[in-house]
Amino acid sequence: MDETTILRILLGELRDKLSHLTEIVSRDARFPDAPQKIKVAIGMRRTGKTYFLYQHILKLLEEGVNRTSILYINFEDDRLLPLDGKKLAKLVDAFYSLYPENHDRKCYLFFDEIQNVEEWATVIRRLHDSKQAEIFLTGSSAKLLSKEIATNLRGRSLSVEIWPYSFEEFLRAKKINIDRSLYDKKTQDILTKLFHDYLSTGGLPEVTNFPIDIRQKTLQDYLDVALYRDIIERHQIKNPSLIKYMILSMVHNTSKPFAINKFYHDLKSQGHQIGKDTLYQYAEHIEDAYLLFLMPIYEKSFRKTQLHPKKLYTIDPGMVRACTFDYSQDLGRLFENVIYLDLRRLDCKISYYLTSEHYEIDFLTQTGQGQKKIFQVAWQTDFPQTLEREQRALNSATKELNCPGELITLDSYLQKGISLN
């Protein structure tokens, strides 16, 4: 089948898909408003990157953009195999041949999961430099995309990360609208119940309304697909069972310190033969696939930073609940994980901090402009001594770092969310 025939099929399928999309959950993330730049959306599989593109395509159509000036190709489609830069170039050429008027007008080119195409960046750079086109890419490998961007697209692109639903997006997906201007006991009770649902369900869009047994199995399948497609196959991992064990161990330690060195010695004591450097590589691959994240301590000295373990956070609270039994009674760690993800959505640098009095501060954020803010997370606020301890830690850190701080309780979070201001 030639590229023109393939393209006709793909464009027809896109029309059918868009016509049956009765409603797309509006995401808080936005592509940068920079028509001259290539826009890149990065995130774990199943976080909604494809629908994020659909949302933008529908917006263009509503603004009056001609449907025939829009190209969308999903490179997860196995009908397109084998994939390489030449195949990508031929598909784009077929698009312009099918609609010759596109040579003289602005077009919008959407390429989904572009990392599946070998040598894609060279073709994208040529299209950007030679065509009157706005280009949109998605991918599920931060490292692979950033390496190609740094090599071939430097100065030509801007990126946005797509995360699972935040709590606010979760409410939006369930068509729940709550007026917080009158935050009374009834509103508090409703939001608290919904937040518990969110901690259990998580924010991966497809599973939002699934029953619990199907949801947990689906989330476990998501983990397996990301593991095999984005880690084992991509990096040719020779010990897949060990890296899966490592991932599950890391999920088990969500919102806790995690030291590769300690994990290495634990494996060694169990008789596993693996090098420490290999485990560090595994951790990089896991983070690159957006499954888990290692947050460093804040120290002015890089050497001191390396002496402390990093803290672990997982891509989604629902995935934590689907992969371990440990969190049925420890909701505080899940709450801390939610706050970490919210801060990542705000696109700031995040670390934890130890005061000179050895108080641990959950999050120290720093914006691109250098503005710092401290956040201390407290799930249980029923006991005065708990609040007093957390406030004492916060006061100590704000004095040492000379920046504002905020104590985040469940009640304050439900009422006003989180802000860097």
Asked whether 420 and 348 are in contact (CB, 8 A), the reply is yes
159 or 143, which is more confident: 159
Which one-letter DSSP state was computed for residue 229?
Answer: I
pLDDT at 114: 92
Q: What percent of the chain lies above the pLDDT cut of 70?
A: 97
Give the separation between CA 149 and CA 139, rounded to whole angstroms: 12
Domains in the chain: ranges and CATH: 3-162 (3.40.50.300), 168-330 (no CATH), 346-421 (no CATH)
DSSP string, 12-65: HHHHHHHHT----PPPS----S-TTSEEEEE--TTSSHHHHHHHHHHHHHHTT-
- pLDDT grade for 328, boundaries at 50, 70 and 90: low
Which one-letter DSSP state was computed for residue 233?
Answer: I
SS3 164: coil
pLDDT at 169 over 80: yes
Give the separation between CA 170 and CA 28, rounded to whole angstroms: 11
Q: How far apart are the first and last CA of the chain?
A: 56
240-287: pLDDT as tens digits: 999 999 999 999 999 999 999 999 999 999 999 899 999 999 999 999
- The 3 state secondary structure assigned to 379-415 is CCCCCHHHHHHHHHHHHHHHHHHCCCEEEEEHHHHHH
For residue 158, the cross-strand partners are 39
Residue indicated by tokens 């997370």: 377
pLDDT at 212: 85
pLDDT at 343: 97
Asked whether 320 and 251 are in contact (CB, 8 A), the reply is yes
pLDDT at 143 over 80: no
- pLDDT grade for 326, boundaries at 50, 70 and 90: low
Nearest to 283 by CA among 329, 231, 328, 350: 231
**CA atoms lying within 13 Å on the CB side of residue 278:** 14
Give the separation between CA 189 and CA 388, rounded to whole angstroms: 24
Give the separation between CA 420 and CA 365, rounded to whole angstroms: 8
pTM > 0.85? yes
Give the separation between CA 126 and CA 196, rounded to whole angstroms: 49
109-139: pLDDT as tens digits: 999 999 899 889 899 999 999 999 999 999 8
Asked whether 51 and 205 are in contact (CB, 8 A), the reply is yes
24-79: pLDDT as tens digits: 899 999 998 898 999 999 999 899 999 999 999 999 999 999 999 999 999 999 99
pLDDT at 144: 64
Q: What percent of the chain lies above the pLDDT cut of 90?
A: 77
Asked whether 38 and 124 are in contact (CB, 8 A), the reply is yes
Helix axes 120-130, 85-98, angle to 10 degrees: 30
382 or 82, which is more confident: 82
pLDDT at 163: 96
- pLDDT grade for 327, boundaries at 50, 70 and 90: low
Give the separation between CA 153 and CA 81, rounded to whole angstroms: 25
- pLDDT grade for 151, boundaries at 50, 70 and 90: confident
pLDDT at 133: 96
Specify burial of residue 412 (Cβ count, 10 A radius: 0-12, 13-18, 19+): middle
Nearest to 222 by CA among 369, 17, 45, 404: 45
342-360: pLDDT as tens digits: 999 998 999 999 999 999 9
